[in-house]
Amino acid sequence: MVSTKAKTGIGMAGRVFQQIQRVIDDTGGQSGTTIRVLQQAQGLVGYLPPPVLKTISRDLKIPLSEVYGIVSFYSFFTMVPKGKYVIQVCMGTSCYVKGGQRIIDTLKKDIRLEPGGITPDGKFSLETVRCLGCCGLSPVIAIGDDVHRKVKPSELKSILSSYR
């Protein structure tokens, strides 16, 4: 017997692939539409897992290696799921010197979040970045559109709790 959860999961995936198929059909097989299709697929799924890339490669009739090449070239594409809120910890020189690594270590220890990872509830994912443009106020982190300056590791729990 198939559980309701499993049925729902298969149904959702099927619907998403149907929507991606519609996006591909809308392009009419024209060349130069790969980026648009990838953007719309990422909008639907939230990221670009290998089965989605294989579908796009097959249906647009372009080599899978080319699809992977595009996805890895443009930073706005991601092959890993992102959280509702993306935490960016600045690891540029100024922030690194002023404690960027301690922020990463605290996130690892307190909420088991590593760079490139996502919390089990899908709320937060973590990335490191090179400079957020306010080096004089380091260490700096960004959560979504919010920039937090002079962050102390001890403040992280309370900062994150305001996003829950």
Binding site residues, ligand FES, CB under 6 A: 90, 92-95, 131-135, 138, 140
Selection from 49, 20, 15 nearest residue 7 by Cα: 15
Q: For 110, left (φ over 0), alpha (ψ -120 to 50), or beta?
A: alpha
For ligand FES, the closer of residues 35 and 135 by Cβ is: 135
For ligand FES, the closer of residues 62 and 131 by Cβ is: 131
Least distance to ligand FES, CB of residue 4, Å? 47
Least distance to ligand FES, CB of residue 134, Å? 5
C-alpha 92/C-alpha 90 separation (Å) is: 6
Angle at 126 between CA 85 and CA 67, to 5 degrees: 95
For ligand FES, the closer of residues 130 and 157 by Cβ is: 130
